[in-house]
């Protein structure tokens, strides 16, 4: 993985911790949460305060998430909100932490100026011994305080102040006044600078989890369902149906369509479908060359075209299907009839706009595994696992491509491929016009209307 790290494609955008004061605060928080400490004098942390260096030192990459269900976190600075989340067990965790930090940013800024803030993402279950238990995790509550208990002390002091003001002879109660003075030494004047960090609860009906080999849970879909990366029979009894695994292409395609969770890239508003199709075809050629042992070096599109000529009859069905669709997009061929049984089918889709867009794109990344760019953007856990299985020549090609074509404008590339970030209010979603009039055409994705 050193090549990815050097290119800033792994462990990128972590927060460096090197000042003795912050290291000491981190150790206090680490001791408080886990009973362990680090001997390291500088390290990097993600949004949850997890450090890959400390994970290596302790021999435990889950030292802040021991049961995999209720992630603990350490906040040393509010700048952690832009950092990634490593060793992700639930797809919702980073979004929850980001919202918690942004909602309480002023308070957290003040609190982390004096101490580390530690807390936990508390699910409604304490362990996930069976897949069925995952469906009980419908919400997550975030609770946090400084290691010194400033929030709890401020709440206690506020109560004592209210009592002092409410009692007619409160000024005579020396014990009460003494308690207030002692607490105020730690919290400051909470009447002028209130300290509050209330618990926040987030709904989690739809999510991906790495547990049990990878499971997608959709409990708040029009037609609920569970999709498993492993054989569905391994999940046992589940409280909702259908339960599908990734080999059931027709069932998954039908379920996605009935729920309105996907859209064909050739119909997506504002998307340069031809450019996306060409890039997907390049990725497929690289994989085909890899399997046949053909040297791809730093092949650009011209060299990849030569590889396609060499492959001839060995060109993958995924490539041929996308090539037929590209000819239609460019007005040089007939509309291809591509059913969900075709190898290229899921390469032709993206997540429909809405709150489940990113989750659906994660699923599509598993169903179209040769699209390494999509996999890297939306499903890094899968990307890193796949990367470990590639030859050195493919690793180098992919790293060079991501540095050249993605890293220079990551946000722009993401929006170009998948559209603007989902909005809870669909009225705020922009509606750019399609690049060309596609006519009234019927295909496996339904009709393409002239008015877009």
pLDDT in tens, 382-414: 999 999 999 888 999 999 999 988 888 888 889
User: How far apart are alpha carbons 46 and 328 in whole angstroms?
Assistant: 45
User: Which pLDDT does position 369 carry in this prediction?
Assistant: 95
pLDDT of 429: 33
What is the tens place of the pLDDT at every residue in 326-353?
Answer: 999 999 888 898 999 999 999 999 999 9
Is the distance from CB of 176 to CB of 184 less than 8 angstroms?
A: no
- Give pLDDT tens digits for 59-118: 999 999 988 888 999 999 999 999 999 999 999 999 999 999 999 998 898 888 888 999
Contact 204, 192 (CB under 8 A): no
Q: Which residues of the chain fall below pLDDT 70? A: 150-162, 164, 166, 168-174, 176-178, 180, 183-195, 297-299, 422-452
Query: DSSP states of 218-231 as a string?
Result: ESSSSS-EEEESS-
pLDDT of 439 reads 32
Give the start-to-end residue ranges of the domains of the chain.
13-150+195-204, 248-428
Give residue 167's pLDDT.
72
Nearest Cα to 230, choosing from 250, 260, 209?
A: 209
What are the distances in angstroms from CA 118 to CA 40, 51, 186? 20, 15, 17
State the pLDDT at residue 160: 64
- pLDDT of res. 78: 94
Amino acid 393: pLDDT: 87
Cα 323 to Cα 137: distance, rounded to the nearest angstrom: 43
Helix (H) or strand (E) holding 56: helix 52-58
> Kindly report the CA angle at 164 between 162 and 165, in degrees rounded to 5?
65
């Amino acid at each position: 993985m050193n090549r990815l790290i050097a290119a800033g494609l792994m462990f990128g955008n972590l927060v460096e911790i090197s000042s003795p004061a912050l290291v000491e605060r981190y150790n206090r928080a680490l001791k408080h949460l886990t009973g362990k400490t680090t001997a390291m004098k500088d390290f990097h942390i993600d949004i949850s305060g997890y450090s890959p260096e400390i994970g290596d030192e302790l021999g435990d990459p889950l030292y802040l998430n021991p049961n995999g269900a209720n992630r603990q976190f350490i906040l040393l600075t509010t700048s952690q909100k832009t950092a990634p989340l490593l060793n992700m067990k639930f797809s919702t965790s980073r979004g929850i932490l980001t919202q918690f930090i942004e909602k309480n940013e002023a308070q957290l800024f003040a609190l982390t100026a004096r101490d580390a803030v530690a807390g936990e993402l508390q699910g409604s279950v304490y362990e996930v011994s069976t897949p069925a238990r995952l469906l009980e995790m419908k919400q997550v509550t975030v609770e946090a305080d400084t290691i010194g208990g400033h929030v709890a002390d401020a709440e206690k002091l506020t109560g004592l102040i209210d009592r002092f003001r409410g009692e007619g002879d409160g000024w005579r109660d020396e014990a009460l006044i003494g308690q207030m003075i002692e607490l105020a030494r730690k919290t400051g004047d909470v009447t002028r600078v209130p300290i509050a960090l209330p618990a926040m609860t987030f709904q989690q009906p739809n999510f991906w989890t790495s547990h049990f080999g990878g499971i997608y849970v959709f409990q708040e879909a029009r037609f609920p369902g569970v999709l498993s990366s492993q054989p569905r029979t391994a999940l046992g009894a589940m409280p909702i149906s259908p339960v599908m695994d990734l080999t059931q292409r027709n069932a998954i395609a039908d379920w996605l369509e009935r729920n309105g969770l996907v859209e064909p890239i050739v119909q997506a508003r504002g998307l340069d479908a031809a450019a996306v199709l060409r890039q997907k075809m390049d990725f497929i050629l690289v994989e085909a060359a890899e399997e046949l042992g053909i040297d791809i070096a730093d092949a650009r599109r011209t060299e990849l075209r030569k590889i396609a000529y060499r492959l001839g009859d060995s060109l993958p069905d995924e490539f041929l299907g996308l090539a037929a669709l590209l000819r239609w997009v460019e007005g040089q061929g007939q509309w291809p009839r591509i059913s969900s049984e075709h190898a290229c089918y899921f390469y032709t889709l993206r997540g429909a706009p809405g709150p489940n867009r990113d989750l659906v794109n994660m699923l599509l990344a598993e169903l179209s595994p040769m699209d390494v760019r999509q996999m890297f953007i939306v499903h890094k856990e899968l990307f890193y696992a796949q990367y470990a299985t590639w030859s050195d020549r493919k690793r180098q090609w992919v790293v060079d491509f991501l540095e050249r074509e993605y890293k220079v404008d990551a946000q722009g590339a993401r929006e170009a491929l998948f559209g603007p970030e989902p909005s809870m209010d669909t009225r705020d979603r922009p509606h750019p016009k399609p690049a060309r009039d596609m006519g009234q055409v019927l295909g496996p994705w339904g009709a393409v209307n002239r008015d877009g």
